[in-house]
Amino acid sequence: MRAHAKCASVLPNSYAGANDDLDARPGLAQTAAEAMAVAEMFAAHPGMRDRAASVLRKYGCATMPLTTNDADRTEYWRRVVDHYVVNQDEEFDEDQPFYVIDLCRVIVQMAKWRKNLPGVTPYYAVKCNPSDALIDMVHALGGSFDCASVGEFTQVLGRGCGKPGDLIFANPCKMASQMKQAHAAGVHCITFDNETELDKIAKYMPEARAVLRIRTDDSAAVCAFSTKFGCPVPDAGRLLALARDLGVRIVGVSFHVGSGNNDPAAYTNAVRNARRIFDQGAQLGFDMKLLDLGGGWPGTEPRQGPDGKPDSLSFEGICAHIRPLLAELFQGVDVIGEPGRFFAASSYALAMSIHSTRTVSTTAGDEHQFYTTDGLYHSFNCLFFDHAHPDLHALRPDVENPLQVTTIFGPTCDSLDCILKKAEFPRLAVGDWLFVPDFGAYTVAAGAPFNGFATRRTKYVASLDL
């Protein structure tokens, strides 16, 4: 957990006349560029703006555009959270945490995807955040879905978000019962990575369009997957031959380099390996026309390291390495990706209050302990499962007094439920509010109501004025 003290026709109305500030305020310049990309996307896809606006209306999104007073997204979230704390509605309960959800961030991210990976269709990874609102917006913007279970593809199809043939059942190792249900529902595009799965496909999904998932070098990833999934590249030919003998139709190759992979070679080597396997498949008679670039795409900007340089690869940087290879090696092939956090991360901010406090005297001095309304068993499960380092902010930091040694616990009775441990933080008191920006990826998806605590309240906003 990181503790913190602290063109008019295409821009939102709130940015008209703000061009003089752009060079001096990089955050503002980035936001203006994002707005331009959104306008270009809408211009290129007639009807998309109306579909997106319809989703905003469906969820009652309060129009709260970014303004020139918002130095960056964190300050935008601070302003929006403060608005809901000050302007309490009949549902407001000072002891209940809540999420603010900005569905326009999905629009911004879709524009960024289309600009940097033209021709690559995003299949939103539902597991990252199975929010109905996110699913509806991705669908309105022309995206499709990566589903890992019957529950996920049933949710998507039940909302009318695409047809069964538009989904990919991207779990390489599936239960037989779920394979039968997928076959019955018409979900035929699936991934696999081993002989046993091929036998199951031949038996339970004879109409499948199977995609071979290959192992990658994810040694530089924050979250690695190759220990669990992926066929070693040297074994691919043998699996393809077995598929031919079983009568399983192979239509393409997929891979996943892991989340937070900072090695450009991991991406380029995976793309080149996929091309080799396409060629092997062609020799065996397969007409392979699908390349799946997998997930792990960053949904927020890289942080600055101690040396002032970015501490990770940006989305744009990753795409700059991949684009030339796709143009060189995969002409005439349908290319998809499986972004999850890319769409979900920056769409959410969490707000929670301090309900209790105590001071513990130690040989090193006083430790100020506080108890808040969300914790490790719910939204902050990402500290364990996603190796996340979210930014924790005081909503109204005390700037008059020095920072103090602070520990912040979640609401449950487990001492493990701690989200900040002996770190310097602004002074707090009962009734003060905290917020965490960019907190939509792998948070609510894996949260559990342990001890009866959970964050259930949501407020929907729109940072663009459509």
pLDDT band at 12 (very low <50, low <70, confident <90, very high): very low
Q: Among the options 104, 231, 413, 418, which is catalytic?
A: 413
Q: Residue 6: what pLDDT?
A: 46
Name residues whose C-beta falls within 8 Å of residue 26's C-beta, 6 or more positions apart in sequence: none
State the residue for tokens 């092939």. 333
Q: Residue 25: what pLDDT?
A: 52
pLDDT band at 88 (very low <50, low <70, confident <90, very high): confident
Inter-residue contact 253 to 291 (CB < 8 Å): yes
**pLDDT > 90? residue 17:** no
Range of lowest pLDDT (8-12, 19-23, 175-179, 274-278): 8-12
Taking alpha carbons only, the member of 38, 46, 80, 45 closest to residue 63 is: 80
Q: Where are the beta strands (DSSP E) in 312-378?
A: 334-337, 348-362, 365-372
Helix (H) or strand (E) holding 191: strand 189-192
Taking alpha carbons only, the member of 322, 176, 155 closest to residue 145 is: 155
**pLDDT > 90? residue 290:** yes
Q: What is the mean pLDDT of residues 440-463?
A: 93
Q: How many Å apart are CA 124 and CA 134, to the nearest integer?
A: 9
Name residues whose C-beta falls within 8 Å of residue 177's C-beta, 6 or more positions apart in sequence: none
Q: Residue 7: what pLDDT?
A: 27
- pLDDT digits over 391-430, tens only? 999 999 988 889 999 999 999 999 999 999 999 999 999 9
What is the CB neighbour count within 10 angstroms for residue 302? 15
Does 413 qualify as catalytic in the annotation? yes
Q: What is the mean pLDDT of residues 241-268?
A: 92
Q: Residue 66: what pLDDT?
A: 85
Q: How many Å apart are CA 124 and CA 227, to the nearest integer?
A: 23
343, two tokens: 């769409």
175, two tokens: 């239960």
Q: What is the mean pLDDT of residues 17-45?
A: 72
432, two tokens: 């003060």
Better pLDDT: 17 or 267: 267
Note the pTM of the prediction, 2 decimals.
Answer: 0.92
Q: Residue 29: what pLDDT?
A: 66
Q: Residue 24: what pLDDT?
A: 47
65, two tokens: 């555009």
Q: What is the overall mean pLDDT for the chain?
A: 91
Determine the topology of domain 103-345 in CATH.
TIM Barrel (3.20.20)
Percentages helix, strand, coil for the chain (3-state, rounded to 5) are 40, 20, 40
**pLDDT > 70? residue 4:** no
